[in-house]
Structure 1
Amino acid sequence: MLKAIADERNRLNIRQEVSGIGCFKDDRIVFWTWMFSTYFMEKFAPRQDDMLFYVRRKLACVSADNTEGKKVEVEVYRRDSKKLPGLGDPDIDWEESVYLNLILQKLDYVVTCAVCTRSDAGDIHIHKKKCQEVFASPSKHAMDSKGEESKMSYPNIFFMIDNFEEVFSDMTVGEGEMVCVELVASDKSNTFQGVIFQGSIRYEALKKFTVTEERRN
């Protein structure tokens, strides 16, 4: 699947270099609808998830200078639904839909949280760490409340840990330490891996933020 996408991009780049123009819109729709149908609707589609995600771009408004604005929505259907958008529907961004389903269904994600210290030489020493499988989502839950209502966040993708307190309850950080987080993505066969996020925060900064939030409340 990834090779087919890479080949399509190379084909488009070569055509632009040679002729100065890209592929016709209909030509690109044929490729991306074929990708969507083949890898998410037919024999290569994962059996463990029967949901399909469509990125729809609707005309939202026309400004004073006649510039059209597009409103982006994500529609979710079961694979056997009779309401599925037709392949080639011009309002569906088929390339984006392929990418979104690829991110949500074809990759596995593991987040690692560690308590570390940094030596004077700059070396990182890990004192405790835990790994947890997480799932990509085009929506998010509010972090400041216990409500179950979710809001669409696309094009931002969130990786929620619903049982965070249970998993990381014994991960304590003290003075001179820092919390490091790493998110790794891999394909289902674990043929390749890639780090898609790395970050860290020192105890002092975390404490300062906590005190500020307590004062606000």
Structure 2
Amino acid sequence: MFGDGGESPSRHELLSMVKKHSNLIGKTVVDEQDASDVEMDQTFWHDVLDLYFIGGRDSKQQQDDDLLFFVRKMGLHGYGFNDNLEGNSPYFVRRWAAKLDELVGESSVIVDWRRSLYLNLIAHTSYSVTVAICSHQTLQNHQSNQGTPLSPIYKILKTVYASPSRVNFHLDSRKEVETKPAYPDICFAVDDFDSTFDAVVLTDKDHCYCVLLNAVGGAAFPTEKPPPQDTNSPPKHNTDGPQTNKTKLTLFSGFVSYQMVREAYDAGKSGFGSLLPFGHSSGKTDRIYMKGPGGRGEVEVAVSGIADHSLDEFGPQSPLHISQGGFKIGAMVRKAASVAQVAAKNAYAVASSARNPDHAMVPLKCCLMSISLPWEHIAHDLLFKGGAPVNL
């Protein structure tokens, strides 16, 4: 379909074709009359995937992996109508090879090439997640006036990867215990969540827990080669300010107040309504599920209260005083940043004077475990979303 013996389209040209024929993305009710003939043509999507991820592999960045994902066609009873070929998972995986048809083999008959193209576009794009503690007042000021700076009290930036599978973590052992398909959701998991976000502690009732997911490069951001210039004419300067190509895109942004996290942590049962439905697991750490703005996406967070060791500071073996030696400090105080420890201690000192213990301030450590979003939301934003990204 492409080239007819001539030069193959560039990645920018291919992406423009994909945008042109992506009218069905994001629609809950699909009317095939709304789709172009090309959009329903599996051969078109097969060829685009072949050119973009097989033929274009020599332009892959060093950090890209060489796995390709293939979504199975849906039968009358969902995925898995042809179990003799590839099992009952909604997708299967192959390692890159020079020829697409040889790579897929006889499984080609069960591949939905359109959805496979989108899934690979998502999987081969680079992402970062920002977790921050912000003042509620600062967030309100920013929402009312976008020009107001949004300066976090504390933040952590972490590289994450898009996957059509989900990892279930065992909170008491901090080890992944099961991996299962998540598709049509895409999961961005943080395997080392406990150590990565150890210092993210809400220590004030004005604190808010903020999560941002940004796409920052990779397959959805092909590098465009500048057009050749006439050597006899003076060089052209960019008069449009920053480059027009997207280099960063916010896919998810949301925050919750300390009070909302505290109520979930205390209750251990449904109490957030539609905004933050959550689950409760036994033990000292609660697994809380937070719905994104407008019900879009889901954030999984491990929340634990920081123990009050303020009374220990006068003891000869106080964990606040011991920095070295044979004492198992980690068993007495869970590792936390010194700033968070001091803030937690001060918060307890204030809370101890409160008459009603139910309103006492309890420092809460919030460790982001994963973010999940439907693939169609991600694909739509990668292709069409404009505007400046959210920066923290």
TM-score interval (norm. to shorter): 0.7 to 0.9
* TM-score normalised to structure 1 length: 0.78
In structure 1, what is the equivalent of residue 193 of structure 2?
164
Aligned to 1:119, what secondary structure does the other structure show?
helix
Partners of 2:198 and 2:178 lie apart in 1 by 24
Aligned partner letter, 2:103 = L
In structure 1, what is the equivalent of residue 71 of structure 2?
55
Partners of 1:49 and 1:4 lie apart in 2 by 25
The answer to which of 77-86 and 93-102 deviates more is 77-86
Aligned mate of 2:92, from 67, 72, 75: 75
In structure 1, what is the equivalent of residue 273 of structure 2?
none
The answer to which of 41-50 and 31-40 deviates more is 41-50
Q: Aligned pair count?
A: 199
In structure 2, what is the equivalent of residue 13 of structure 1?
none
Aligned mate of 1:23, from 37, 48, 52: 37
Q: Could you give the per-residue CA deviations for residues 112-163 of structure 1, whole angstroms, max 9, x where no partner exists?
A: 1110112289225521111111100101111445334201000100101111
Q: Which protein shows a greater Rg? A: 2
The answer to which of 117-126 and 93-102 deviates more is 117-126
Change beyond 3 A, Cα 1:169–1:128: same
Aligned to 1:122, what secondary structure does the other structure show?
helix
Q: Percent identity?
A: 26
Aligned partner letter, 1:196 = L
Partners of 2:21 and 2:281 lie apart in 1 by 52
1:6 aligns with 2:19: yes
Tell me how far 1:209 sits from its aligned partner.
1.4
The answer to which of 174-183 and 118-127 deviates more is 118-127
Q: Conserved in 1, the CA contact under 8 Å of 2:170 and 2:177?
A: no
Structure 2 residues without counterparts, runs of 5 or longer: 1-13, 24-32, 81-89, 143-150, 224-244, 270-279, 283-392
Q: Conserved in 2, the CA contact under 8 Å of 1:50 and 1:79?
A: yes
In structure 1, what is the equivalent of residue 110 of structure 2?
91
The answer to which of 91-100 and 36-45 deviates more is 36-45
Q: Conserved in 1, the CA contact under 8 Å of 2:169 and 2:177?
A: no
Partners of 2:264 and 2:160 lie apart in 1 by 26
Partners of 2:138 and 2:38 lie apart in 1 by 58
Runs of 4+ in 1 over 6 A off after TM superposition: none
In structure 2, what is the equivalent of residue 62 of structure 1?
none
In structure 1, what is the equivalent of residue 183 of structure 2?
154
The answer to which of 204-213 and 81-90 deviates more is 81-90
Aligned to 1:151, what secondary structure does the other structure show?
strand
Q: Conserved in 2, the CA contact under 8 Å of 1:29 and 1:88?
A: no
Tell me how far 1:88 sits from its aligned partner.
9.5
* TM-score normalised to structure 2 length: 0.45
Tell me how far 1:70 sits from its aligned partner.
3.0
Partners of 2:74 and 2:136 lie apart in 1 by 50
Aligned to 2:103, what secondary structure does the other structure show?
coil
Which protein has the bigger strand share? Answer: 1
Alignment of 1:26-41 (within 5 A): 28-41=41-54
Aligned partner letter, 1:69 = H
Aligned partner letter, 2:19 = A
Partners of 1:153 and 1:44 lie apart in 2 by 26
